[in-house]
């Protein structure tokens, strides 16, 4: 059965030869080639390649202009960057100088405050010593006054106890003789 089937397929292949269609004696492949040649000829005749080249040249010029502009912008940006870096460096220097001035001022303020505190302590010490001396003098004066009163009272008592008319007469005579 297989033999029979193979024989039928072979008979069919021999009988069915493919016949390619033609128009005006040209095959479809020839017509496509002819159409392509016509399109290229038309494009050359209408100067399409030159127009494409001109358009590409315009685009290239535009891109060059953009690149030149980008270069100039980059140069400006670099200049601005350098300028701001210089300003930042100057600002850092000024900040450092301000810090140094602040440190010097703070040291001066601390030294002045120390000096003022020492002067205040010295003044207060002198004032305290003056008050102590005044109080000491007042106490000595008071002790002297009390001692004088006590001595006067004691002397008065002694004189009053030892006094009699004969003693008074002798004292008066002595005083008159001394004159």
Q: Identify any residues that bridge with 26 across adjacent strands, giving them in sequence order.
A: 23
Segment 6-30 mean pLDDT: 70
Segment 3-14 mean pLDDT: 65
| pLDDT bracket for residue 13 (50, 70, 90) | low
Q: Identify any residues that bridge with 23 across adjacent strands, giving them in sequence order.
A: 26
| pLDDT bracket for residue 12 (50, 70, 90) | low
| pLDDT bracket for residue 178 (50, 70, 90) | confident
Out of 52-56, 127-131, 170-174, least confident range: 170-174
Domain ranges of the chain: 49-149
| pLDDT bracket for residue 1 (50, 70, 90) | low
Q: Does residue 169 have a pLDDT over 90?
A: no
Q: What is the mean pLDDT of the chain?
A: 84
List of long-range contacts for 33-42, beta carbons under 8 Å, 24+ apart: none
In Å, how far are 58, 67, 130, 156 from 63, measured between CA atoms?
A: 9, 6, 97, 133
Closest CA to 131 of 55, 177, 102, 123: 123
Calpha distance 3→9 (Å, rounded)? 10
Calpha distance 177→179 (Å, rounded)? 5
pLDDT tens for 24-78 read 888 888 889 999 999 888 888 888 888 888 889 999 999 999 999 999 999 999 9
pLDDT tens for 63-117 read 999 999 999 999 999 999 999 999 998 999 899 999 999 999 999 999 999 999 8
Stronger pLDDT, 45 or 167, i.e. the higher one = 45
Segment 10-26 mean pLDDT: 66
């Amino acid at each position: 059965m297989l033999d029979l089937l193979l024989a039928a397929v072979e008979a069919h292949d021999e009988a069915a030869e493919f016949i390619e269609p033609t128009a005006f004696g040209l095959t479809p492949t020839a017509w496509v080639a002819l159409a392509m040649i016509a399109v290229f000829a038309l494009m050359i005749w209408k100067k399409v390649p030159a127009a494409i080249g001109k358009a590409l040249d315009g685009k290239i010029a535009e891109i060059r202009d953009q690149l030149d502009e980008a270069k100039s912008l980059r140069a400006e940006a670099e200049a601005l960057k350098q300028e701001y870096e210089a300003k930042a460096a100057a600002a850092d220097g000024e900040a450092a100088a301000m810090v140094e001035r602040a440190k010097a001022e703070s040291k001066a303020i601390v030294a002045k405050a120390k000096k003022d505190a020492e002067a205040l302590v010295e003044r207060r010490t002198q004032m305290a010593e003056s008050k102590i001396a005044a109080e000491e003098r007042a106490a000595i004066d008071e002790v002297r006054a009390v001692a004088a009163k006590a001595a006067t009272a004691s002397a008065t008592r002694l004189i009053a106890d030892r006094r009699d008319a004969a003693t008074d007469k002798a004292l008066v005579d002595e005083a008159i003789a001394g004159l």
